Amino acid sequence: MGKKRLFTGLQPSGSLHIGNYLGTLKQTVGLLKDTDGLVMIADYHALTTLKDTGGLRKNIMDVARDFIAVGVDPKKTVIFQQSTVLQHTELAWIFDCLVTVPFLMQAHAYKDKVAKGLEANAGLFTYPMLMAADILLYDTDVVPVGADQRQHVEYAREAATKFNVVFGETFKTPQEKILESVAVVPGTDGKKMSKSYGNTIPLFGTKEETQKAVMSIVTDSTGDRPENVYNIHRLFKSEEQLSSLYAENKGKYKALKDTLVEDIEAVISPMREKRASLSDADVKNILKDGTERAREQAEKKMVDVRNKVGVTI
């Protein structure tokens, strides 16, 4: 039996934070060790929210660097940009023609936007079908994602099943992989860490930026230990190591935060160095190579899909 196929994607919509790393990237790197993997920069998904030419361009390069810095090996794993493999948008259209409007209206990304009274663009509405195409083009078995992406992988399974029923067995049904212990990494205010809440600790900021974020963690003095600090700390050190540290430093919030900074730094600084060692040319070459490898597989699948839907004459 061959290795399992892994596929995941990340939107280039801003700088990564430690929630992104611990929630998804770290487990992806672990899983890539014994799977056959593709990691994709979801630039067309980012376009549903980002309208900033230079910003998107920069973010794409940054995410590629981030993937490599955290340990994705471009020799082994295909790293590529969604927009450069046109088969993704092509297949998304076919899925759009299979699913209903009420079905897409249940998607969280769309529902949340509407609930906030904001106008959702049509791209955001059909977003799950583009994500389904991303995943299904490559006969994916496993999709490592953060908890908030669970529904999108369910949508991909649904799209696969719908297509298979209408046109015959074509797509494998993928499974999400969510690491529950760190499924939701808390931010500096104790709520889910998210760039939209302004409560993040950057993954690749300078040490000073890490320090600034850690010092801003909201502490409350009612309990025995500062829970918001502890809940982030436990993602970097074992509960055993922490129990003595927190017992010895009762009430000394500054000392605990200083230790947290050092513990975060111990993880991040080797990755930061790796990141700085990659030139723009290195990154572009890696993406070009990834595109070619991804496109070859995607096109093979689309030949079958086009035949089945009947557009080939």
Q: Which of 113, 177, 257, 301 is catalytic?
A: 113
Side-chain-side CA neighbours of 47 within 13 Å: the count stands at 15
Using rule CB under 6 A, residue 59 touches ligand TRP:
no
Contacts of 192 by beta carbon, 8 Å cutoff, 6+ apart = 19, 184, 185, 186
From the list ligand ADP, ligand TRP, none, pick the one residue 45 interacts with, judged by a Cβ distance below 5 to 8 Å according to partner type: ligand TRP
Burial (CB count <10 Å: 0-12, 13-18, 19+), residue 81: buried
CB 205, CB 211: distance < 8 Å: no
* Helix runs in 70-149, H state only: 87-96, 101-105, 108-115, 122-136
Extended strands (E) in 259-304: none
Using rule CB under 6 A, residue 131 touches ligand TRP:
yes
Does residue 58 have an active-site annotation? no
Using rule CB under 6 A, residue 143 touches ligand TRP:
yes
Site size for ligand ADP (CB under 6 A):
18
Using rule CB under 6 A, residue 143 touches ligand ADP:
no
Neighbours of 258 (CB within 10 A): 15
Using rule CB under 6 A, residue 145 touches ligand ADP:
yes
Strand order in the sheet with 78-81: 78-81, 35-41, 4-10, 142-144, 175-177
Shortest distance (Å) from residue 299 CB to ligand ADP: 27
Shortest distance (Å) from residue 184 CB to ligand ADP: 5
Does residue 237 have an active-site annotation? no
Does residue 250 have an active-site annotation? no
Using rule CB under 6 A, residue 9 touches ligand TRP:
yes
- The footprint of ligand TRP (CB under 6 A) covers 7-11, 42, 45, 131, 134-135, 143, 145, 149, 152
Interacting residues with ligand ADP (CB under 6 A): 10-11, 13, 19-20, 23-24, 145-146, 148-149, 184-185, 192-196
